Amino acid sequence: MGYAVRMRWDALTDLYLDHLRVERALSRHTVAAYARDLDKWCRFAADRGREELSVADLDLVAAWQRQLHQAGLGARSSARHLSALRGLTRFAIREGALQHDFTALATRPKVPRPLPHPLTESETLELLDAPSADSPTGRRDRAMLALGYAAGLRVSELVSLRIGDLDLQRGVVSALGKGNKRRLVPIADLALERLTAYLEARLVRPADLDWVFASPRGGPLTRQAFWKIVRRHALSAGLSQRVHPHQLRHSFATHLLRGGADLRSVQTLLGHADVSTTEVYTQVTRDHVREAHRRSHPRG
């Protein structure tokens, strides 16, 4: 393209959207979302007589962010708008239409981390007891649900377990987590009992003996298969909320903290690299305490 000091933002946006459609093959819905966000930027710049790329600067970006905030956009939407502008700016630099990225120092709105939604202890027990112990599939599901909750495993860790990852004598499981890091997590008695019953009675092909939870088609169960298992048994247990597999992990962490476990221990058991990731569960615990106070205190 060459360095174009007189190029306008709306013309550059048209080129960028074509780039997203053709070169990056993004879906039409995604491209449409970029178009909406960038149209706001183009109109904002034009309204201030700064429709040309060469006169845009960090102050203009900050003013745009203030306008988005005043218009009622939340942090997540404002962050998305800034991300779209940064993509457009990087494209302009790549094409030689800009010499530097004036958005680099723009402050990204802080998006609050969504709080996890654990099950209550009674809901957890109802879910764990939902599968029947009278069939091979039921015994497998009982073992998976109990182990997922007892060890706080990620779904990917649970479905990829191999027999060598279990030490039923010591009552521990070796989970392969993010970054290929392993951690040892104790297994509670209930999970041990159900794992033992499942493993002693399971019927799998020799090629699948290495997988703890093998698929009928061969190889390990998929994440999607476990999702369906959780949903099916949550419905049969009569749980009202839309239960998903990761809630077993959320419940594991929350119940430990409510029971008095210290944050660092829970961090280690979950395999979190940063304790700040684990701290979100303390907020859930505080909310639980406040709610209990509100219900129980005569002047709450």
Token pair in block for residue 93: 């630099």
CA dihedral 140, 144, 145, 146 (to 10 degrees): 100
Q: Which amino acid is at 179?
A: G
Among 69, 202, 246, 288, the one annotated catalytic = 246
Question: What tokens appear for 285 in the block?
Answer: 């615990």
Q: How far apart are CA 168 and CA 109, in angstroms?
A: 48
- List the 166-167 sheet strands across, edge first: 166-167, 172-176, 182-186
Is the four-CA dihedral 179, 180, 182, 187 of positive or negative sign? Answer: positive
Catalytically annotated residue among 140, 154, 194, 250: 154
Q: Are 81 and 37 in contact (CB under 8 A)?
A: yes
CA distance readout (Å), 240 to 33, 123, 251: 34, 10, 16
Q: Which of 16, 149, 198, 281 is catalytic?
A: 281
Please indicate whether residue 246 is annotated as part of the active site. yes
Q: Which helix (H) or strand (E) holds 95?
A: none
Q: What is the three-class DSSP state of 51?
A: coil
Active site residue 3: no
Q: Catalytic site residue 272?
A: yes
Verify whether residue 29 is a known catalytic residue: no
Q: Please provide the size of the chain in residues.
A: 300
Chain Cα centroid distance, residue 295: 32
Task: Give ∠ CA 212-214-220 in degrees, rounded to 5.
Answer: 95
Contact 171, 187 (CB under 8 A): yes
Angstrom CA distances, 263 to 181, 253, 276, 291, 296, stand at 20, 9, 10, 21, 27
DSSP state of 273: S
294, HSE (Cβ side, Cα atoms, 13 Å): 6
List the catalytic residue out of 66, 113, 178, 232.
Answer: 178
Candidate list 194, 233, 249, 255, residue with the active-site label: 249
Residues with active-site annotation: 154, 178, 246, 249, 272, 281
